[in-house]
Structure 1
Amino acid sequence: MGINRIDHAAVRVGDLGKALAWYEDVLGLTVLSRDADTVHLACRGKAADITLVKGTQSLENFTFGVDDQEDLDRVESILKKEGVAAERLNGDSRPGEGATLKFHLPSGHELRLCTGGAERRAGVSDFDAKGSHIPTDMDHINLLGEVDPAVMRDFLMMIGFKSSLNISVGGQLAGIWLRGSAYDHDIAYMRAVRPSDRLHHVAFAVEDGNHYFRLSDRLMETGHRWEFGPGRHNAGLGKSTGFGTNNYAYAFDPFGNRNEFSSGMEQFADDATPLDVDIAPEQLTDVMNGWGYEMAETFMTVGS
C-alpha cells in the first residue's frame, strides 16, 4: 500500500527525430511504439519509461506507481475531500500503464498514479546495468515552479509522500525533496529562477561508479559532455551518508530538457526525521557538489 517510485515521464521536444538521436542512439533506450506526435521508450522491458511528445520543451506529465486499485481509491478520496479535481483514465496512453488516476499539483503540474496492470508492479526501480551504459530505469523527478515549496510539500505529504529534505537559502525555503518509496527522494520541487520553467530534471537510474564510467565514455564518443558531474550531493555539508547525498551526473537533451543520471540513494524508514538545512547563498555550490569546488552556472538558473 502507498506510493512507489516514479514510473514514467512525458517530456516535450521540438523534433522527435532529433530527440531520438539522444534518447535512443546515445542513451540506448528502446522504442516501443510511435506515431506522428509521440514516441514511447523504455530502458528495458515492455513498459514505457519516458514518452517524447512533439512540442517545444519541458514536462507534459509524469506518473508514479502504486500497488493496486485501493491506492488509487485512497488518493482519490483524499483529493475529493480537499476539493481537488481528479479523473480516472483507462490506462492505454502508453505501454504498461494500467489503471490510472490523473490530477494536478498546486504548481499546475499534471501527476498521474498508475497500477501498471496485471503483469508488473509500477514504480519499482531496477538497478542492474548488466555491464551496459544504458540507464536501468526511471529514478526520480525534480519540478520547478512559482508556488511556495511549503504548499507543495504539504500537498504531497497529504496524498502519501514522506518529507526527506528541506533546503532554505537565507532563511527562505527554496527546495523540498520527498519520497514515496524508502529511497532518499522520488520527487523534488524548487522555486524557478526563470518564471516559465517547470522542469529541473527527469532522472534515470544508474547502478554504480562503473556504470558512470561507461555512460561518460558513451557521451564522449558521441560528441556530448556532462553539464555537471559526476559527483555527490552534499546536503549534510561534509557527510557522505544521510538525506541528500546521492551521486549525480547531468546532461541536456537536444531541446534543453535536463536529464540526471542518479545512483547511490540510501533507504530510510517511513518515520525518519527529515533533514532541514538553512544555508547562505554562497554555500549552494557546497551543497550541490560535495566532491569539488565548482557548479555549472546553468544548474541553478536554467530549467525547461
Structure 2
Amino acid sequence: MANPRVTGLRGLEVAVYDLNESAEYYRKAWALEEVSRDGNKMQLRATGPEHHVLTLHERPKAGLVCVNFAADDKASVDALHAKALASGATVVSTPHALPAADGGGYGFEVNTPDGHMMRVSSNLDVHAVTSLDISRPWRINHVVLNSEDTQKEMRFYLNTLGFKHSDTTEIMSFIRCSVNHHSIAIAKHGGPSLNHMAYEMHNYEGLMQGTGRVRLAGHEIGWGVGRHAGPGQNIFAYFVDPNGFSTEYTTEVDQVDDTYQEHFADFWSAKPLRPCAWAGNKTVPSAAAVRAMSGKAVAERNAASDTTCDDVISQKLAS
C-alpha cells in the first residue's frame, strides 16, 4: 500500500477520579449513552453509528489514556503498523483482534513523541442510528492536545498516520485525516496534556439545546456560545467536567478537501474580530476554562493526590 493513512477519528479514552461522578456528567448532562460497564471502565456512545466515542477508566490520577482512529480495512491497519515501525515511532503492539466488548475489530497501538497512545483500528461493530434528538452529540469531532514541541508532534501525525496540515496560528497547529478541517490540533500550552475534546452537534439549534441542558444540570458555561474566528471557524460552547477536562459542543466546522489552501499565523492574526467572530474579545474563556484547557486543573489535582498519599504513608510510618 503506497500511502496508508487513518481515515477518521473514533473517540478517546480518559482516566477519571470517580467513575460514578463522571458517568453522571457524561450520561445526564452531556447526553451520551452507556454502551457497557466492566468494573472501573465504562464506554459511552453518541447518536451516530460509532460503537463508542468515550471510554472512562477510574484511576487514582486523571489524564488522557488513548485516542482512537479509524482505518479502512485490515490491510490498511497492517500497512500503517509497518509505516510506524519504519518511521521509528514507539509501537506499543502488533496488529491484533480487539476485545469484543470494545466493539471488536482489528488494530494496534503506537505512541506519539509526547507519549500519547494512539490506537488505529478497522472492522469495529457499529450501532443502528435510532435517535434523532439534535440536542445530543452525533460523534466526536476533534481532540486538542497540549505540547511543548508542537512541530515534533505534528510531524508524527503527518508522517506516521498520514494526516494533512490545514492551518497554523500563533499557538496552535490544525491537522486533518478526513474532510473535517481538523481531527487533531496541537497547542503550545506546556504539556503533554489534553486541552479539550469536542463533540459534534447536528446544527446550531441542537448545540443551543444541548448547551441549555448542560447548564440546567448545574454546569456553567466556560466559553461561548460563539464562533471561532480562527481555523475551522466552528460554533462552540465549552464546559469543564468534574475531573477538570474541557469539553466542547461544536457545529459547522469547515469541511475541506485536497484543494484547501493552508494558512499560517499572519493570515489568522489579520482577522478583525478575535477570538470570537461574533463578539471579538468580549467572548473569552473563563478562568476555570483556561485552567482546564491548559491541563493545569488536572495536573494540580493529580499533584495534590500525590501529596495526600505521601502524607498518609508518613502518618502510618510515624504511628
Where in structure 2 are there 5+ consecutive unaligned residues? 299-319
Residue 198 of structure 1 and its aligned partner are, at CA, apart by 0.4
Q: 1:285 to 1:199 in 2, by over 3 A?
A: farther
User: Is the partner of 2:265 in helix, strand or coil?
Assistant: strand
Residue 37 of structure 1 and its aligned partner are, at CA, apart by 1.4
Q: Which has the larger share of strand?
A: 1
Contact 2:229 2:277 in 1 (8 A): yes
TM-score norm. by structure 2 comes to 0.80
User: Is the partner of 2:261 in helix, strand or coil?
Assistant: coil
User: Is the partner of 2:39 in helix, strand or coil?
Assistant: coil
Matched, 1:210 2:210: no
- The alignment's C-alpha RMSD in Å is 2.6
Residue 43 of structure 1 and its aligned partner are, at CA, apart by 1.3
Residue 204 of structure 1 and its aligned partner are, at CA, apart by 0.8
Residue 278 of structure 1 and its aligned partner are, at CA, apart by 3.7
Please name the residue that 1:52 is paired with: 56
Contact 1:285 1:295 in 2 (8 A): no
State the aligned residue count.
282
Residue 260 of structure 1 and its aligned partner are, at CA, apart by 1.1
Please name the residue that 1:65 is paired with: 70
Please name the residue that 1:26 is paired with: 29
User: Is the partner of 2:83 in helix, strand or coil?
Assistant: helix
Matched, 1:113 2:120: yes
**Paired letter, 2:90:** A
Contact 2:229 2:271 in 1 (8 A): no
Q: 1:91 to 1:296 in 2, by over 3 A?
A: same
Aligned with residue 83 of structure 2, among 78, 84, 87: 78
Q: 1:167 to 1:252 in 2, by over 3 A?
A: same
Please name the residue that 1:246 is paired with: 234
Measured in 2, the distance between the counterparts of 1:77 and 1:280 equals: 37
Deviations 1:133-165 (A, max 9, x none): 21111111001122x211122221112101011
User: Is the partner of 1:213 in helix, strand or coil?
Assistant: helix
Please name the residue that 1:38 is paired with: 41
Aligned with residue 230 of structure 1, among 225, 229, 245: 225
Aligned with residue 140 of structure 1, among 136, 142, 150: 142
**Paired letter, 2:211:** S
User: Is the partner of 2:43 in helix, strand or coil?
Assistant: strand
Matched, 1:221 2:216: yes
Residue 85 of structure 1 and its aligned partner are, at CA, apart by 3.2
Contact 1:129 1:136 in 2 (8 A): no
Q: Which has the larger share of helix?
A: 2
Residue 285 of structure 1 and its aligned partner are, at CA, apart by 11
Please name the residue that 1:171 is paired with: none
Residue 284 of structure 1 and its aligned partner are, at CA, apart by 11
Residue 57 of structure 1 and its aligned partner are, at CA, apart by 2.0
**Paired letter, 2:102:** P
Q: 1:206 to 1:41 in 2, by over 3 A?
A: same
Task: Report 1:261-300 matches (<5 A).
Answer: 261-278=249-266, 286-292=273-279, 293-298=282-287, 299-300=289-290
Deviations 1:50-109 (A, max 9, x none): 011112322111101111112212221221212223212421175324111200011111
Please name the residue that 2:107 is paired with: 100
Residue 287 of structure 1 and its aligned partner are, at CA, apart by 3.9
Contact 2:226 2:283 in 1 (8 A): no
Measured in 2, the distance between the counterparts of 1:276 and 1:265 equals: 18
Deviations 1:230-280 (A, max 9, x none): 211112xxxxxxx43111111111111111111101221224221112489
Q: 1:279 to 1:272 in 2, by over 3 A?
A: closer
Measured in 1, the distance between the counterparts of 2:209 and 2:104 equals: 30
User: Is the partner of 1:266 in helix, strand or coil?
Assistant: coil
Measured in 1, the distance between the counterparts of 2:116 and 2:211 equals: 31
Measured in 2, the distance between the counterparts of 1:191 and 1:93 equals: 37
Contact 1:144 1:199 in 2 (8 A): yes
User: Is the partner of 1:288 in helix, strand or coil?
Assistant: coil
Matched, 1:181 2:186: no
Measured in 1, the distance between the counterparts of 2:238 and 2:272 equals: 15
Residue 35 of structure 1 and its aligned partner are, at CA, apart by 2.1
Matched, 1:155 2:144: no
**Paired letter, 1:16:** L
Q: 1:80 to 1:277 in 2, by over 3 A?
A: same
TM-score norm. by structure 1 comes to 0.84
Q: 1:97 to 1:249 in 2, by over 3 A?
A: farther
Q: 1:278 to 1:46 in 2, by over 3 A?
A: closer
Larger relative contact order, structure 1 or 2 (CA cutoff 8 Å, min sep 6): 1
